[in-house]
Amino acid sequence: MARTAANGHLKPHLNQNGLKREDIKRNGYHNKREKNGPGTCVASRQHKQESFEQAPMYVAVMTYLGFGIVTLFGYFRDFLRAVGIEKCHLAQEREEQKDFVPLYQDFENFYTRNLYMRVRDNWNRPICSLPGPVFDVMERVSDDYNWTFRFTGKTLHNVINMGSYNYLGFAENNTDFMKTVAEKTSQYGVGVCSTRQEIGNLDIHEELEQLVATFLGVESSMTFGMGFATNSMNIPALVGKGCLILSDEVNHTSLILGARLSGATIRVFKHNNMHSLEKLLREAVCSGQPRTHRPWKKILIMVEGIYSMEGSLVRLPEIIALKKKYKAYLFVDEAHSIGAVGPTGRGVTELFNVNPADVDVMMGTFTKSFGAAGGYIAGKKELVDYLRCQSHSAVYATSLSPPVTEQIIRAMKCIMGNNGSTEGIRRIRQLAENTKYFRARLKEMGFIIYGHEDSPVVPILLYMPGKVVAFAREMLERKIGVVVVGFPATPITEARARFCLSAAHTREMLNQVLHHMNEVGDLFCLKFSRRKHSSRPDLHDETGLELSS
Amino acid sequence: MALGDCWKSLSWLYYQYILVTALYMLEPWERTVFNSLLISVAGMAVYTGYVFMPQHIMAILHYFEVVQ
């Protein structure tokens, strides 16, 4: 209740938060009105930096129209093949099996036969050089509409590589940098010929694991030969029946496969949506397991650092707060974010200033930023020691090859800046600069880009199937190699082209790519964005400059 | 010169039509089939309009009592 002054007029004194002084009692408890102050916490800052703009309605209509027409023609061609007018190049049931359950009638086979096969020259292109910032592509043509290919013998040289996961540019063949790798190859050979538990545990593996633990700031780590297998083979060792896995909507196939193999119950929450996650957590803690209502043995939240199809970053501080509140465990898959984000390349924990000990299981791969192969799992010593005994990958899979191990060691030492060299920091800064520049210029041109401003994965939405295919072919004509992704990997109406930036790209290469993107965008009418952006991206600052977007 | 520009812009418009309707992914004979179907349906609509439009306009005007 506000006190009125003697003359009946009330002049409210508003303090800093917009509250009347009368409403704050002496111990600081705010009575009735509480307005939200300006957002300065991490959550709202991240919300402003991420964007998932929706395309205008006509784009969705035309996408469905395009798919509808191709589907109709697909049915027509299937009819011709069934009647016998056209020869079927793919697998077909034999005459004797025609009365049994059909094998090739489901949607996936229909899609492969009638949509993918028509345009599959845009995928699986063979390259014949190092996947650095520029590479060589072998030219191949098809005489029968992509059912078979033949190589013409020509090579397209110096195609700009915008598809390789080469974030820090460590996919290089510079002999100075690779001296230690050559030495280790001549010392150990290339094959290990055994598993970690038998005779395949080399001293460089131990050195690598200690280095990874120091790099991440955790107690201990273990490395495996293959990144996909790290997820799919280790999650079954961590959770089992009677446990609950809360996994993000757009998690990678390796996480989904590992979760299914483990036998735990899986529940999916909306992408990066903390309300959805909290709701699921509350329900899980209150109701317990489905029929018996016993409490869950373990609740594991599985997220990724950078989601490779969306380019978005995980909301790590909020998830950690939720995890502590409901006593769950957290598994972060930093396949794309390790080495690529954070001021010194330590991943999302450094970017959000979070204690690495708060994340229970940190997983990552060496294929992306380190230019090698394999994956790691890091965390507390008890966890890693348990995995050494119980994980399928540790017991049965061959360990990392020595030259690959040495490549990871030298790349990690370079990032950590041993011997006082600044090469690692230079690469990280170059990647951050390239990311900011490229994203800002593309937004300014009018394309719809998904994801966070700092993420080096840039998905550009193309929507319509015809345009997606024409885009890939036209960019190859202009000597730029891009990766386009369509239905099974993305929702059917959101086909995109995904650019992966690298520290090895120079400003001239990026300008050339941007110039061609501009021309192709005008030629194919790909600039769907309805937002207006200023033309001076250098002015954009994170310290609260509230520009309308 | 103007004819050349006109031809270029028509060609660009046809390319856009091919891309949007995903006919770009189909083989040339399938494009011919689809285009001829579309043109025949559109032709039939125009012909029907041409034949019946006077009657329809007279009926509307009669309804609004503009002409008896």
Residues of B in contact with A65 (CB under 8 A): 20-22
**H helix runs in A304-347, sequence order:** 316-326
The whole-angstrom separation of Cα A153 and Cα A130 is: 19
pLDDT, average across residues A350-357: 92
Q: Write out pLDDT tens, residues A118-144.
A: 999 999 999 999 999 999 999 999 988
Structural tokens at position A164:
């390789």
> For the whole model, what pTM was predicted?
0.83
pLDDT, average across residues A183-198: 90
Whether the CB of A466 is below 8 Å from some CB of chain B: the reply is yes
Q: Write out pLDDT tens, residues A293-302.
A: 999 999 999 9
Which of B12, B22, B27 lies at the smallest CB-CB distance from A69? B22
Whether the CB of A43 is below 8 Å from some CB of chain B: the reply is no
Q: Write out pLDDT tens, residues A426-477.
A: 999 999 999 999 999 999 999 999 989 889 999 999 999 999 999 999 999 9
Closest CA to A251 of A492, A457, A489: A489
Amino acid at the residue A89: H
Q: Give percent of chain A above pLDDT 90.
A: 62
CA of B23, closest CA in chain A: separation in Å? Answer: 7
Q: Structural domain tally of chain B?
A: 1
Q: Domains in chain A and their CATH numbers?
A: 52-161+423-530 (3.90.1150.10), 175-416 (3.40.640.10)
Give me the interface pTM, i.e. the ipTM: 0.87
The whole-angstrom separation of Cα A239 and Cα A241 is: 7
Task: Name the band, by pLDDT with cuts 50, 70 and 90, for residue A48.
Answer: low
pLDDT at A40 (0 to 100):
47
Indicate the length of chain B as a whole number.
Answer: 68
The whole-angstrom separation of Cα A257 and Cα A11 is: 64
Q: Which residues contact A359 (CB under 8 A, 6 or more apart)?
A: A316, A320, A330, A332, A349, A379
Closest CA to A503 of A453, A443, A438, A440: A438
- What separation in angstroms does the CA of A360 have from each of A203, A220, B58? 27, 12, 80
Contact A90, A120 (CB under 8 A): no
* A-B C-beta contacts closer than 8 Å: 48
Q: Write out pLDDT tens, residues B31-65.
A: 999 999 999 999 999 999 999 998 989 999 999 98
pLDDT at A7 (0 to 100):
46
The whole-angstrom separation of Cα A163 and Cα A349 is: 26
**Best residue in A64, A65, A75, A118 for a mutation probing chain B (most B CBs within 10 Å):** A118
Whether the CB of B22 is below 8 Å from some CB of chain A: the reply is yes
Whether the CB of A408 is below 8 Å from some CB of chain B: the reply is no
Q: What is the 8-class DSSP label of residue A2?
A: P
pLDDT, average across residues A350-376: 92
pLDDT at A43 (0 to 100):
60
pLDDT at A488 (0 to 100):
81
pLDDT, average across residues A42-50: 65
Q: Give percent of chain A above pLDDT 70.
A: 88
pLDDT at A534 (0 to 100):
57
Task: Name the band, by pLDDT with cuts 50, 70 and 90, for residue A366.
Answer: very high
- What separation in angstroms does the CA of A545 have from each of A290, A343, A433, A542? 49, 22, 20, 7
pLDDT at A9 (0 to 100):
45
CA of A89, closest CA in chain B: separation in Å? Answer: 16
Task: Name the band, by pLDDT with cuts 50, 70 and 90, for residue A72.
Answer: very high
Domain that holds residue B35: 1-64
Whether the CB of A470 is below 8 Å from some CB of chain B: the reply is yes
Task: Name the band, by pLDDT with cuts 50, 70 and 90, for residue A320.
Answer: very high
pLDDT at A537 (0 to 100):
46
Residues of A in contact with B18 (CB under 8 A): 466
Task: Name the band, by pLDDT with cuts 50, 70 and 90, for residue A174.
Answer: confident
Closest CA to A342 of A297, A306, A293: A306
Q: Which residues contact A101 (CB under 8 A, 6 or more apart)?
A: none
pLDDT at A542 (0 to 100):
43
The whole-angstrom separation of Cα A310 and Cα A451 is: 6
pLDDT at A100 (0 to 100):
86
Structural tokens at position A377:
């799992």
The whole-angstrom separation of Cα A379 and Cα A159 is: 41
Contact A361, A444 (CB under 8 A): no
Q: Which of A105-109, A313-317, A536-540, B51-55 has the lowest mean pLDDT?
A: A536-540
Residues of B in contact with A467 (CB under 8 A): 19-20
Chain A, 140-159: which have a CB under 8 Å from a chain B CB?
Answer: 145
Pairing state of beta strands A244-248 and A451-452? unpaired
Closest CA to A256 of A489, A461, A497: A489
The whole-angstrom separation of Cα A47 and Cα A61 is: 29
**Best residue in B25, B29, B36 for a mutation probing chain A (most A CBs within 10 Å):** B25
Q: Write out pLDDT tens, residues A505-539.
A: 999 999 999 999 999 999 999 998 887 765 554 44
Which of A67, A523, A524 lies at the smallest CB-CB distance from B22? A67
pLDDT at A46 (0 to 100):
65
SS3 A31: coil
Kindly identify which residue of chain B lies nearest to residue A71, measuring between CA atoms.
Answer: B22
CA of B33, closest CA in chain A: separation in Å? Answer: 10
Which of A62, A65, A469 lies at the smallest CB-CB distance from B24? A469
Contact A170, A504 (CB under 8 A): no
Are A73 and B30 in contact (CB < 8 Å)? yes
Closest CA to A503 of A164, A212, A208, A159: A164
Residues of B in contact with A74 (CB under 8 A): none
pLDDT at A47 (0 to 100):
64
How many Cβ atoms from other residues are within 10 Å of residue A270's Cβ? 14
pLDDT at A409 (0 to 100):
93
pLDDT, average across residues A341-367: 92
The whole-angstrom separation of Cα A256 and Cα A250 is: 10
Is A547 a residue whose pLDDT tops 80?
no
